[in-house]
Structure 1
């Protein structure tokens, strides 16, 4: 009796005081240390997550929790129907953007830089850091880490509606991770029933590779990292919970038949009468059921219309400026979004009314991108022609002008038969600079693109450049964010380390693009080294005569036979090095950059459309 009473008192203490429950205890840790100068960060990785009742049995709720779309979870998790219900413990791979984050200003935990994915969570009634980290995020973080990265919040007095950062533990692979560098280090929470061998079997990797990375003695509910070259093809349930049982209805039918058989011999005449009566009622019932089906269809159509109206409300300001395409037009233009119409990523080529468009399928709310795009109109920005909202799955489609010659990245790094000459490269650099100058200087508030890179620069039929993809753009600058996004090799250091959003981060990325135009090298090499760091080390602070000698060895080999002067290349290189200054305040503005690039004599030589057409290397 005393033991039972003691157990009840302990249980009551756990509930009332929210004491740590040993069954779901967490390691006392604030995360994994990292070096903010590591070139491996940031990276795209995944967390292994399990669906859970009652409120995380669909991809929409889990996607909202991790700030990703349903499709971003469905595809790596081998789920064919993103709208389908999930079953408890169904395995999922949730994508994360992993960053190396410096310690907060108020560093009461005395921590160094730690690696995690920044997930913003809005505090609800009854929430505690411990409860949300263990239950909702399933121990992918710890309450100690949550407290460390939210120094301004009082854990014992959380305000409902306030946003808190929940740092989901993650790690980026580097050259020292293993003898063969994996593509991902998947975050996995060790369960009480797990051991290293079972986890290795789940991911189709060796036990030794996990041990090398995590040590020999991980404890239950520790987050470990599993090195994989590709995600395992997890087996998902083929059936979902069946609809409510109809046993009661069938039971009534059986009883009715039994009574009928029982009285058949006695009341044959009455039965015949009842048969006619029932026949009439069945006929009447069919008519009634038919009416109900029509009503149901009408209500479905009405609901479908209401959903479309709700979605259109988010983009109502754009209705008078852009064409609203019909979903049927887009399906017909792409043959049901066939892979053979795919350009890149989620962008398709399609012909509507005889005109070619680029159709971008969005799996998140596109209203912010639309709000920015309707403010800009410049020849060096890809023009938005219209949009379409599909109420069936709440996807939005942005329809852009079709830019014929593809991305600058493909011309510099993929096309083997044809290359860009120096005059064309210089002209492209000026075009991009003009586009950035427009969004930085001529929009109010200023627009920061946040993802300038060679694959987001498109070339038209005259090989003139246009900036594309405003999916990450932000209206307004000089802000601080904890959610770091972008492409490795192009990200400005102050944004990566402190989350500072400003037009100068676009200037830095543009400097990397200039280096690509000069050298023909990728922004990041196969070993994960960023090009801009080696360029700054090689050329910053070097005398002009030394630059002239060094640049000949560094310039793109396809330009060697081109009629260009080393002085012209060095002048562009100087602009690029200025853009890459680690102090944002010392970087030039886009106005200064346009002026500096336009001073080159090569810009005014042979820049007719004929002169800008690419020529095969064999013709030089």
Structure 2
């Protein structure tokens, strides 16, 4: 089998999988949850309720994985779901209906929300997880990401750590203290549903469903509603294929005939198995072993004179031998000493530590996963508005990779805008920061081959140096190449471009979209997702959808960061920046401006707003509170 045909096969199966996945992603994107943060309550008891859940490929097609997700046993799902105990280990067909038991209670949240009715489900953050994706994909809209944020007030949705324990509040409700209702079923409305079909499915009365949901008669796709039942209906499960009946004892001729037939059937089955085994063997030899050989070749990379003859034995240094003359190769002992053994006192954020080596301060990023992609991209970029990589280190014993960056003194833009610093940024500095970010993006979009897409532009990934000049950091999700399609959606909710979330399309225009959101943060000082779960970019588009310029200016004065109003500046400068931001957020990526156009427009806004000859752009000014 040729490389070309293998590639064609891979593209075909990828396309099929994407075709199957896209409706789910689109549903997750367009879901309308009327009760965004959950359902208020005032009862004191705890009850057992049930969530209606469907088995889904590829991760939740067996009782064990679904049980682990909801922290219940397989038997606790199989019994109410009409699945025999002998089938506990049998794979489930996609869309197999299940009843998952929930321990429902009324949980106090905070003064703003009071108490909410939900089941506490513990969940550990995995790579690529966001509150939004886990809520909509894994838990199938049985909760919402605003509710997750409310229940986890100490966690920052834009900066989740892998392995972090989280509570996902699964919406539920206890039945009223009246006869006739013993259980409440949490059910997510599907597009094809109506009140009659839901009532018929669960053997409930339409009016009782309406009453259980506060008198609401209108169904909204992907909302969670509650269905009251006296007893759980028997779910219709796929029929089990019966075993062949035992042979009937007859004459010798019948025995002989049966033996011949049995032998023929047996030989046929053996032949079929041989064909299947041969196919698997060919696949293994051609595809899998080829990958193993390639992996082994990548693992057998050496660190030249730094560690000559030492096999790294981990796929962390694949094809980066050409980096050795560009970057310093640090020893693990140096990094351990610089960070006091990676002590919490040296932690900057996430898995990045501050450390001093030979009198120089560095930011040291500790990684458990493969750093090859990030190193491959970083070795070909060099720009003043990108955080500079100084070196790296491999620890083969712990299978860790460490990337050592320049230390950027003033921390992240997010901390300046949202974490209550005593000093606030002036509009002049904010606009200069926006231009710096745009310049950094222009470099990776226009001056690298192939072009680089950052994929995670956000205020927490923008660092400010001692002169308050901006540098783009964290290329961990970056990708070389344009217009690729991925099925693994990663990023930070609130900054993700609609076409990427829906279709997985990777292009420079997704960075342009995220830049538009950061520009809105700089103008408004607002978080990208507010306490009600509303997106900043959606709010901005709705607010400024007016043709009257005077009305638009009035709305801008009400909407922008109040700290900016304390200084003298040109409204034309602000309006110019706002116009750029709104243009970046166009739902059609082809209609968003190029990063080159953005740099030009913002520079023009800067010229309109300030006379830079007096003290120079490099002289920062902050506003004392």
TM range (shorter): 0.5 to 0.7
Tell me the alpha carbon deviations over residues 343-395 of structure 1, each in whole angstroms, 9 at most, x when there is no partner. Answer: 00110000011100000111210100100011110000000011111111211
Q: Distance in 2 between matches of 1:421 and 1:580?
A: 24
Q: Within 5 Å, which residues of 2 pair with 1:352-501?
A: 352-501=357-506
Match for residue 170 of structure 1 among 115, 136, 139: 139
Q: Distance in 2 between matches of 1:357 and 1:556?
A: 33
Aligned-pair distance for 1:514?
Answer: 0.7
Q: Within 5 Å, which residues of 2 pair with 1:56-95?
A: none
Which TM-score applies when normalising by structure 1? Answer: 0.56
Which TM-score applies when normalising by structure 2? Answer: 0.55
State the 4+ residue runs in structure 1 displaced beyond 6 angstroms: 30-33, 91-95, 175-180, 202-207, 218-222
Unaligned runs of 5+ in 2: 1-22, 37-57, 72-86, 97-135, 154-167, 176-182, 188-226, 238-306
Task: Say whether 1:37 aligns with 2:45.
Answer: no
Preserved CA contact (<8 Å) 2:142 2:186? no
Structure 1 residue aligned with 2:346: 341
Structure 2 residue aligned with 1:112: none
Structure 1 residue aligned with 2:293: none
Preserved CA contact (<8 Å) 1:330 1:350? yes
Q: Within 5 Å, which residues of 2 pair with 1:128-527?
A: 142-143=93-94, 169-172=138-141, 182=151, 208=174, 211=184, 213-214=186-187, 217=232, 305-308=310-313, 311-527=316-532
Q: Distance in 2 between matches of 1:473 and 1:387?
A: 18
Structure 1 residue aligned with 2:112: none
RMSD between superposed Cα atoms in Å? 3.9
Decide whether aligned partners of structure 1 residues 479 and 328 sit closer, same or farther in structure 2, where only a CA change above 3 A counts.
same
* Secondary structure of 1:577 counterpart: helix
Preserved CA contact (<8 Å) 1:39 1:528? no
Aligned-pair distance for 1:499?
Answer: 1.0
Aligned-pair distance for 1:501?
Answer: 0.8
Match for residue 600 of structure 2 among 595, 604, 616: 595
Q: Distance in 2 between matches of 1:206 and 1:596?
A: 50
* Secondary structure of 2:391 counterpart: strand
Q: Distance in 1 between matches of 2:459 and 2:233?
A: 43
Q: Distance in 1 between matches of 2:591 and 2:360?
A: 45
Q: Distance in 2 between matches of 1:432 and 1:612?
A: 17
Q: Distance in 2 between matches of 1:337 and 1:559?
A: 39
Tell me the alpha carbon deviations over residues 176-223 of structure 1, each in whole angstroms, 9 at most, x when there is no partner. Answer: 998996559xxxxxxxxxxxxxxxxx999988499553566498999x
Aligned-pair distance for 1:432?
Answer: 0.2
Match for residue 620 of structure 2 among 601, 612, 620: 612
* Secondary structure of 2:311 counterpart: helix
Unaligned runs of 5+ in 1: 1-29, 44-64, 67-87, 96-133, 146-166, 185-201, 223-301
Preserved CA contact (<8 Å) 1:426 1:603? no
Q: Please tell me whether Structure 1 or Structure 2 has the larger radius of gyration of its CA atoms.
A: 1
Q: Distance in 2 between matches of 1:366 and 1:485?
A: 17
Preserved CA contact (<8 Å) 1:390 1:396? yes
Number of equivalent positions? 386
Aligned-pair distance for 1:427?
Answer: 0.2
Structure 1 residue aligned with 2:277: none
Preserved CA contact (<8 Å) 1:524 1:530? yes
Aligned-pair distance for 1:319?
Answer: 1.7
Task: Say whether 1:577 aligns with 2:582.
Answer: yes
